[in-house]
Amino acid sequence: MIMRPIILICIHFLLALPFANAQDTGDWSSYGKDPGGNRFSSLDQINIRNVNQLQVAWTFQTGELGTYEGTHALEKAAFEATPLMIGNILYFSTPSDRVFAIDASNGKKLWLYDPKVDLHEDYSEITSRGVSIWKPSAGDREHREMIVFIATIDGRLIALSAKTGLPIETFGDQGTVDLKSGIGEDISVTSAPAIIGHLIIVGSSLGDNNRFDATAGTVRAYDVETGKLIWSWDPIPKNDADPAWKTWIGAKAHQTGAANTWATISTDEKNDLVFIPTSCPSPDYYGGERLGQNLYGNSLVALQASTGKMIWYFQVVHHDLWDYDIAAQPVLTTIYKDGMNRSVVIVGTKMGFIFVLDRMTGKPVFPVEERLVPASAIKGEETWPTQPFPSFPPALGIQKIDSSYGWGVNTDERTEAVQRISTYQNKGIYTPPSLQGSLMTPGNLGGIHWGGMCYDSTKGLLITNINRLPAIISLVPRTEMPEDEIKKERQRIEIGRQTGTPYILKRDYLIKRHEDGFTMQFSPPWGELIAIDLNTGKNKWEVPLGSMMDLTKYPAAKNWGSINLGGAIVTKGKLAFVAASMDNHLRAFNSETGELLSEFLLPASAQATPMTYMVNKKQFVVIAAGGHGKIHTKQGDFIVAYSLKN
């Protein structure tokens, strides 16, 4: 009788471990470590006791900056890739979609494939978050080879031999599938496609706020060996047999585009499921041409992977007017609740809300309440009256500000900030766009952004970095903003034409620029790393992440945090590694306490997610350090690997 409870506890502990961890070979074979995006490594050679002994093991330079010469690519380029490691080889992509294979033990180049993307074209983003790899099953390895896939910013899906880096001629047309065919010329892909079974699943990245009838956000599945299209799914229903058809109201509503999937897709091969995170329908800030709830935009959609049939959906924002795309990869894991293990999918959002859903049904595991939100005063617009608010975990980030939040490094700057904040509307989260100008809290960079979350199921810890950056959104009647004024304003702030609607978009941020950087005009921190205990539903710790100012002039800036892009990883060594901030550092935190243990100066900024692996009995931590043109961090072309001193 005494043994029974002990046995049950042990069984519960084992069941709670992710399958990937139980068989961790030291590889990093998917963008999120495993197909469910946990970004947890069971390696612990590097741990809280010795992380301060890490040193640079090797550095590899891609030569990427040289490819930008004669173009304006540097202004938009961002080295956001997370390398994969299989069989002692690292595979990764650069912003221009060049693919490298290098020796994981010493960083020596094995091969390079250049798809020769024309960087003179005007891409919305010049980035690639990584490649995908298909491995044949054990019984097929004598007859098939491992395939590396790159989906490009100019709309191609290319299959490469993992051995040689050469295109596989039996895939598509001489190794390439044209993703623009039948969809649109402005199709790009910035995230690594998903692999499940014999399929590769591809979404798309589209420029925002250009017109109401943007390109369709179709998700497609192709055979990994032939490139044959197996199925496609459009998030905006195109026939009235779909129950979501009636949630798009207006004569032109079904001509709406986007609601595309630019974030990373998660897969569950055992249950034949693929989890599609969709974005805002076009355009982001005016929905008068697409009144209604707008299903399946801003939703997590579970499709049957083999057929593309919808199994369930959960919409996180109704009738989005805030650019609240689901930007983070959904996390597939198991939690213990109500005396049983529950297979769940965790959805992190720009709003700072985290939804925990049953993986098979999409129903919330913890209560979600529909609450009334502010109504729009814009002529032609109708906000959806309620939005879903999860009861658990608590909302992250800034949800509302007023003039009392005004902040500056001196009295004059604080007075300026107070006056500026008081100029705009802010009624809390979901304040709609206005002619006066509305403060969006959180703004379109989050909350939780594309850097996403990582999860240590052995501790029940969900770790994520967030931004605290309100956006200022103003709508201007089209008749009141002539072309010469549009061109003039574009020198100062972001302008979206929103063609096909009555309004032009103006987007700005609560930023104060200085000679040596910039600060926010509201009280810090402006970027944080946060750990949530899913067993208790409470934040276990939260700490400022990075800095944006010269610490010799502003020593207190170490507590102010930084705008950040890129995610964190967590390891069995009780470590959370994250770069992402604007100050050119990779940092190691104690994952259980949030204590900053070590920080490592990089040769360039790292708006990317790190990874870790084991080769020749040595653990490495690797980060892409190449900076980000749009947020003006230090740019470069480095892959940097760290290991313990010999």
Catalytic residues: 323
Examine residue 544 and say whether the peptide bond preceding it is cis (omega within 30 degrees of 0): no
| Cβ contact 467:526 at 8 Å | yes
Reading the block at residue 580, the tokens are 């992402």
CA–CA distance, 473 with 486 (Å, rounded to integer) = 16
Q: Which residues contact 317 (CB under 8 A, 6 or more apart)?
A: 280, 297, 298, 324, 349, 351, 387, 388
Phi-psi region of 130 (alpha: psi -120 to 50; beta: other; left: phi over 0): left
CA–CA distance, 152 with 193 (Å, rounded to integer) = 10
Half-sphere exposure of 608 (CA within 13 A, CB side): 39
From 321, 322, 272, 281, select the one nearest 299 (Cα to Cα). Answer: 281
State the burial class of residue 262 (Cβ atoms within 10 Å of its Cβ: 0-12, 13-18, 19+): buried
Exposure string (b/e) for 505-538, b if CB count within 10 Å is 16 or more? bbbbbbebeeeebbbbbbbbbbbbbbbbbbeeee
Half-sphere exposure of 478 (CA within 13 A, CB side): 11
Phi-psi region of 269 (alpha: psi -120 to 50; beta: other; left: phi over 0): alpha
The DSSP secondary structure of 16-40, one letter per residue, reads HS-HHHHT--S-B-BTTBSTT---E
Q: What angle do CA 169, 170, 176 make, to 5 degrees?
A: 60
From 317, 327, 215, select the one nearest 263 (Cα to Cα). Answer: 327
CA distances from 361 to 313, 345, 357, 367, 608 (A): 8, 10, 8, 15, 33
Reading the block at residue 9, the tokens are 């506890």
CA–CA distance, 258 with 215 (Å, rounded to integer) = 6
CA–CA distance, 103 with 274 (Å, rounded to integer) = 32
CA–CA distance, 338 with 336 (Å, rounded to integer) = 7
CA–CA distance, 368 with 263 (Å, rounded to integer) = 24
Compute, in degrees rounded to 10, the torsion defined by CA atoms 495, 497, 503, 506.
-10
Reading the block at residue 631, the tokens are 């947020």
CA–CA distance, 406 with 412 (Å, rounded to integer) = 11
Reading the block at residue 13, the tokens are 């502990």
